Structure 1
Amino acid sequence: MTGKTYTLLGADRSPYESVTPGILGGHRGGRIYGRLDCPAALRAIAKGGYVKNRVFFANEAIAIAAGFRPCGACLPEKYALWKRSREAAR
């Protein structure tokens, strides 16, 4: 055991340390979550942005509870459902 920990964001948007890495990444400013291999996020990182606002989640339920929405690029089906639910609420 290396003793390495990972900083994840909780449902209350507070960071906490975990011995297990997050399975989803997110952007604090846009309140978007997605896969760690998301092409849109990787492009933003390659351009030098995004990293200082990047957060990680243990699972999707926590990302949603924290007020984040699915990414349209890497989670298009979940994004479409989220968008329809928002439109229906109006």
Structure 2
Amino acid sequence: MNTVSKQWRLIGADGGSYDSDRPGQLGGHRRSRIYGRLDCRAALQAIAKGGYVKNRVFFLNRADAQAAGYRPCAVCLPQDYACWKAQKNLAASSQ
């Protein structure tokens, strides 16, 4: 029997892509540098309108997405987004 394992193209913590035998848990948009859940209402609406898919990327986990320079989606990850925004404001006020 010939077994073919499925491969997914993911973005790692260094921002580079790699093939994985595990699917990504999160989706992102390369141009806006935002990541979120795969069932995100905002992302699904953008996909339905077209054009979004060519910049779609996937991450194994939140740590990889954040390390690659992506921020959480305000729609599907509102608590993570609020923490990110607070950290960004704190950093800006300390400059």
Q: Which runs of 5+ in 1 are unaligned?
A: none
Q: Deviations over 1:6-58 (max 9, x none)?
A: 00001111110001000000000010000000000000000012101000000
Alignment match, 2:49:
47
**What is the TM-score of this pair, normalised by structure 1?**
0.96
Aligned to 2:22: 20
Give the whole-Å Cα distance in 1 for the aligned partners of 2:72 and 2:4: 32
Alignment partner, residue 85 of structure 2: 83
Q: Hey, what does 2:33 align to over in structure 1?
A: 31
Alignment partner of 1:89: what SS? helix
- Counterpart of 1:69, as a letter, is R
**1:14 alignment partner AA:** G
Give the SS at the match of 2:14: coil
Identify unmatched segments of 5+ residues in structure 2: none
User: Which has more radius of gyration?
Assistant: 2
How big is the alpha-carbon RMSD for the aligned residues of Structure 1 and Structure 2? Answer: 0.8
Question: In the alignment, does 2:83 pair up with 1:64?
Answer: no
Partner Cα separation in structure 1 for residue 60 and residue 49 of structure 2: 26
